[in-house]
Structure 1
Amino acid sequence: MESLILIILIIIPGSWSGNWRVTSGDQCALKGSSVVIKCEYDYPLDHMVTAVGWSKTLYVSGKRRRFLLSRLPSPPEHFVYVGDRWSDCSLQINDVQHIDKGAYFFTFETTLNTWTSKASARLSVRELTTVVEPSTVTEGDNVRLTCVSGCPTPINIVWFRDGQRVSNSVFQAGREDAGSYYCAALGQETVRSASVALNVQYLPENISISMDPPHVVEGSSVNLTCSSAANPAAHSYTWYSQGIASSVSSMLQVGSGQVLSLPSVDASHTGLYLCQAANQLGENNSTEVLLVIKRKNPDGLSLLILAGIGLSVLVTLVLTLLLFWLKQRTRAENKAVYDSRLSGRGLSSLDPSDSVNANIYMLPPSTPSSPPPVTATQDSAPHSQRKSHHEHDDPPAYEDEVTYSTVTITPRNPSLPHHMNNSRVLRDSWSKAGENDDSVIYASVAKSS
């Protein structure tokens, strides 16, 4: 029996000679990074590997138990076997989280046996930590940024402030440098630290005064508001004033608080106003603001009355011009009608029914070929009648002012005596001679008294 056992050991060298082994080391990984747990294994030469796997020790009900990684709840591709079935048994863990820390074991099966590592590979998880020294500074002080990884393996880091890359980790702080700083692994910017704020303090600056309302009338109220940029914020405001007519050359304190209220202002409030803002670091003054109080306008009612009078005068003037124009237009129309009646109405168009033309007579001349001379009636007419006749040559202003009682048109016959030209016998004979003669007719127009 002993001989048989010895033969078996000779035929299968290494089976019981201690060639079974798994070698791995502990790893430290940053949260959010990827890590590879290095591992090597060995087995007898006459064996063939048929299965490999990793497991993790967990505490369940106070006891340690091993669970295959394939059975643990985890995101896809979180655990990836990157070894082979000959000698490399490395394991890669992606997006490492604190839950991934612990002890890991490698197990492999061969055609003749199963082997599990005796020692575990421990994974520790750390985070990048940002240190800002000091975290609160006064403007002009120096600041140093330090990034601590927690793992012994050095890494290259970069700095960010409010998401923007920062080139220097040591600098002189200004108010624009205030913000949140963090460090990250170069090439793996998602592997980053938590943010740390840098607080840069400075005196109150850019102090300004606003006035509400901007234009102040005597008797009204006004509010002056003081604003400033400061860190920490201004905790006190003091107001000073200097009157324009004041004999005091220095400014006097007139109030405190961010808002200075002046109710029912008068001329004495006119002057320069200044605001002083202060915080823990010190104080600063604003520029001076001039407050001008306008007097009330006592002549406002008088101006309204004058405006009303002016408007009334303007309306009266317009109406006067309109009436004058209408009167001139009426006079021109009447004159045109009168002129048309004098010049446009011929003797042949005289209507006996017209009251004006009812007593107009036309007598034919005795000699058609010769022009009639002036009638005896014309010659013997008194000088007053001729004067009246000439006066009526010009058109009167109104047509109803001229009234004609009798108009006698008598052609003169040169063969008859002068005194017979006016006889009724001649008129009868001439009327028989013809009424359609085209001879020139001279007449005398007499106006009744």
Structure 2
Amino acid sequence: MSVGLTQPIWMEMALALLILPGVWCTSWLVLYQDVCAVRGSSVVILCTYHYPETLVNKNLTVEKVMWSHGRKQFFDGPFIIDSNNRTHTATKFEYVGNKVHNCTLQIHQVEQSDSGEYAFRFETNNGGKWTGSNGAKVNISELIISMTTPKVHGPIKEGDCVNLTCMNNCSSAVMWFRNGKPLQEESSTLYLCDISFQDSGNYSCSPKHHNRPLSEVIRVSVEYSPRNTSVSVWPSSEVLEGSDVTLTCSSNANPTLNYTWFKIDGDSCLEMVSQAELQFNVTHTGNSGKYFCVVSNKHGRQNSTILSLKVKDHAEGMAAVTLTILLAVLAVVPMIVIVPMVTWHLVAHRKKTTAPKPDTEENTQTTEVHVTSPTSDCSLTEERREEEPSQQDEVPYATVHITKQRANIQQQNEEATAIYSSIWEQQAKEDLYSVVSRPTPRGKQAQDDPVIYSTVFRQ
């Protein structure tokens, strides 16, 4: 809305009004926007102001801006915002405008005492002081949350329908929260039909786009019969005589439960105590047996699972301890023996696999060649035989070294290679021929053996 301005009458402004008729109504303006806020929220009062750029041939600029709360403080204060007051430290009110045309004010976490009228005031460099005659109106509203149940004074049971309503005078769009966490519903009424125990919790609401609840909390408590009833034992279900034992009964239900402990005694049940925990000292093996608990409320009852308690005498306990120690020893001793053996085997295998191997190996075979001079040698004359009868009976020997690459042994055996050897004898220079027998390799037949020829020269 447009708000008029009031200003003390002095000569300079009077001349301006005479020269510029209508400037009072059209050029000097402050525009406010009334707001409605929910208590606890932050609100923004949108505001703009206008003034002539020049007045009596003088450029006008804004030197000071102020906001006041309450009509009595419009002109003389006190002011909640003063741009020239450096000692002003209030954090509740924040000026988010400027000294040109924007005069917006923000108020944080409003309370009922913050309702009322707010006015903007500015001062120019020619000494003028201008205030909007009517301020912006701020209304503070309360969030009212309520619940409707099938029975006004009756409990809420599973399957019932419950309606929650969040009302305020500012807006119908709200956000709902359960236990502080936002829900998807945005209408002013939250419908909880076919309600279950999982819907129990603390509900609250706030205006839309607020990330925290602002209303009071309303409790929704759904009542139901016992479920998931069980028992537990401490320290163990097998104990020695003289030990303290605690049996605990647990269950989910609303409202609170009544507990009763029982011990199965043959075909009957012996009632023990009426509390959630059963504590006793097992003085003898007669305390062994089966135990269970019964829980109940006004909506129903449920039995727990059965717990078997076994009490051992000291002799049985010592036997159990001895057996445990024996089993532990039997489990540890083999490991002490096996682990070193496995370690030694792995180390030996690693050394074997990492030992260096030559790329080629040579096998040297030494073959002793028995060279026998033939009895009839066509190359020798009878005269020569008579002159050297003794030499004919001599048997020369030669040692032949046969060197073969390992990779070629099989090929040489198959090809029956002829090997020649030269033997020099100083007494005669004649050729002698002899057959050299080579040892038969393992796995080869005699007919496959190669024939080795040797040439013997006599000198």
Q: TM-score, normalised by structure 1?
A: 0.48
Give the number of the structure whose alpha-carbon radius of gyration is greater. 1
